[in-house]
Amino acid sequence: MPADEPTDDEVVQTASDAAEGLIFSRYKQSSVRDCDVTVTFEDGVLEVDVYLNVPEAEDDPGPDPEQVADAAARTAREAVDELFEEST
Homologous superfamily of domain range 8-87: MTH677-like (3.30.300.100)
pLDDT at 3: 56
- In this prediction, residue 62 carries a pLDDT of 81
pLDDT of 2 over the 60 cut: no
pLDDT digits (tens, 9 = 90+) for 31-58: 899 999 999 999 999 999 999 999 876 6
- pLDDT, the chain, mean: 92
Q: What is the mean pLDDT of residues 56-73?
A: 87
Amino acid (one-letter) located at 47 = E
Alpha-carbon distances, residue 68 vs 25, 40, 55, 74, 84 (angstroms): 10, 20, 13, 10, 24
CA distance 66 to 39: 18
Percentage of residues in the chain with pLDDT exceeding 90?
82
